[in-house]
Structure 1
Amino acid sequence: MDETREALERLILERKLTYSGISRLLGRNVSYIQQFMRKGSPRYLDERDRSVLARFFGVEESVLGAPSRRSGPVVELIQVPMLDIEASAGHGSLAELESKSAQFGFDQNWLRKLTASKASSLSIIRVHGDSMEPTLSDGDEVMVDLGDNQSRLRDGIYVLRMDDALNVKRIAIEPQGRKISVVSDNSAYPSWNNLERRAVNIVGRVLWFGRKLQ
């Protein structure tokens, strides 16, 4: 006798009930439970019968053969700090890398798709201004990889330090590969061409942004 039948047998005996009585409780023919218990037919209690019996006996359905309820896998989130600063996408505002104001949790596997850098190299800051419209808007939150800077410079959006201010700009490697352009996506703002790589102070590469829907 398997565990389900043993459990049901015990419950019936404890209540001093009969197989035929339990069969009638289920609205079945009087030999139904006896056939289930002694002949293995049906092999399993159907879902409705199991539910009725579980409520009648005051037990979990798993005792009567229902699949055990298991919680989903535990997902460990990597906490990325949101720094209490702004990086200008406009005329520039003085800012320093200061204290954390909040943290965002990201799935580790998802982060690995963005960057090979350690989580300690990541931070989130807020964009200020509209010089990177339509790509980035005023108030957007951007994730910056501080480990992806001058040594791995390539086309993309970066946080730069310009005249003691943090700015978000697009970097474009010029065709010969020795010079770069610092570009504002919004044509109403200036861009700078033919710059030496080392002349630009790269803070980190922008990997991701979040935006509040209006």
Structure 2
Amino acid sequence: MTTVDQRIEKIMRDHSINKRELAEIACTTPQNVANWINRDAISRKKAKLISEKLGYDLNWLLYGGDENIKESKLNPVEWESLSEEEQKDGKFVTIPVLDVELSAGFGACPTMEQEMYTLPFRSITLKQRNIPINMAKVVKVTGDSMEPRLFDKDIISINTADTRIRDGKIYAVRVHDLQKVKVLIRNTDGTITLRSYNPTYADEIISKEQIESGDFQVLGRMWWHSSIDD
């Protein structure tokens, strides 16, 4: 992808978002997003905002070239299961662990997710699951609504490129300014059910109006998790 407009279009396709939704992420107007595409140019400030929130390499968005794949900063002392040969031959990639919880504030302007550290994953695992490396994020679960499937303080990885709802799968979602992890079910009347594993929590119904107004957003599907007892 040699032009800025192509890379912006790719970002919108990856996240299944339109110009208005990208404008919200970048804290700007839909007209400015249209201008980036029409003029094939974007300011470094806005490119940095998009890159940090959606997990893209800033240089790739600004100048093109290969999308960034971060090498692990861990060494065999910190991660004994990785040999030096495995680190060098690229069998492992890293996914950022973000300083956010699935309770509030995911991507809301002007809040930014801060990367605390990274975790190594086998690159073949992501490839087999068709997960773009720069679209995978790791966040922390809080609360007991998903017990016994997920427990308080568990960490999960979500694929932010996978926002298409498949009934019964677990997703990270945003409802107004709250971010949650729930089982999603698409209903025949156009509404969406948010369901918890814990039976003491009632289903939450997302109306068509909430969906159309942008008050509801699917942030990504869970593909991996780790419990504190693991």
The two structures share one fold, judged by TM-score above 0.5? yes
- Is 1:80 aligned to residue 92 of structure 2? no
The answer for the alignment partner of 1:161 in structure 2 is 174
**Against the structure 1 CA distance between its residues 177 and 210, is the aligned structure 2 distance closer, same or farther, given a 3 Å change threshold?**
farther
Aligned length: 136
The runs of 5 or more residues in structure 1 that have no matched partner are 1-70
Structure number, greater radius of gyration: 1
The runs of 5 or more residues in structure 2 that have no matched partner are 1-83
Alignment of 1:3-152 (within 5 A): 74=89, 76-88=91-103, 93-96=104-107, 97-114=112-129, 116-149=130-163, 152=164
Identical-pair percentage: 26
Mapped partners of 1:145, 1:195: distance in 2: 24
- Is 1:187 aligned to residue 199 of structure 2? yes
How big is the alpha-carbon RMSD for the aligned residues of Structure 1 and Structure 2?
2.4
Mapped partners of 1:148, 1:108: distance in 2: 18
Q: Give 4+ residue runs of structure 1 displaced > 6 Å after superposition.
A: none
- TM-score under structure 2 length normalisation: 0.53
Distance apart, 1:194 and its partner CA:
6.8
The answer for the alignment partner of 2:217 in structure 1 is 201
Mapped partners of 1:128, 1:75: distance in 2: 33
> Would you tell me which structure has more strand in proportion to its own residues?
1
Mapped partners of 1:95, 1:148: distance in 2: 16
